[in-house]
Amino acid sequence: MIDLVVKAVPHDAQVILGTVSLHDQKFEDADIIEFTDKLQVLRAGEFESVHATLQPFMDMAADAS
């Protein structure tokens, strides 16, 4: 199933796939992110950088409502 999903991606698109196991599939030209902190996606050391990047978008969304 994973192989089918990856092979069906158009050249001008991206796929975000969440899975517990890749079942020995190899992916070319892919960024694979492995989460290591249980029940956490964002690492504490990355908070400030991510917050600074997203804050303008959150401000625009707040202004639009």
pLDDT given at position 57: 96
- Say whether pLDDT at 6 is over 80: no
Average confidence score pLDDT of the chain: 85
The two structure tokens encoding residue 18? 């969440």
Radius of gyration of the chain (CA): 16
Q: How far is CA 16 from CA 31, 48, 55, 59, in A?
A: 10, 24, 23, 26
The pLDDT-based confidence of 31 (bands split at 50, 70, 90) is confident
